[in-house]
Amino acid sequence: MKKLILILLITLVAFPSCKEKTEANENVIATYYLIRHAEKDRGDKTNSDPHLLQVGRQRATNWKKHFKSVKFDAVYSTDYNRTKETAMPTAKANDLILHFYNPSDLKIEEFMEKTKGQTVLIVGHSNTTPKFVNALLGEDKYEDIEDHNNANLYKVTITKDGKTSEVSVVN
Please choose, from the candidates 93, 142, 149, the residue with its C-alpha nearest in 3D space to the C-alpha of residue 121.
93
C-alpha 124/C-alpha 103 separation (Å) is 8
As a residue count, the chain comes to 171
C-alpha 12/C-alpha 42 separation (Å) is 62
In order of their start, the domains of the chain are 28-169 (3.40.50.1240)
Please, how many CA atoms are within 13 Å of residue 150, restricted to the half-sphere of its CB?
18
Specify the amino acid at residue 111. F
pLDDT in tens, 73-98: 999 999 999 999 999 999 999 999 99
Write down the pTM of the prediction.
Answer: 0.85
pLDDT in tens, 47-68: 999 999 999 999 999 999 999 9
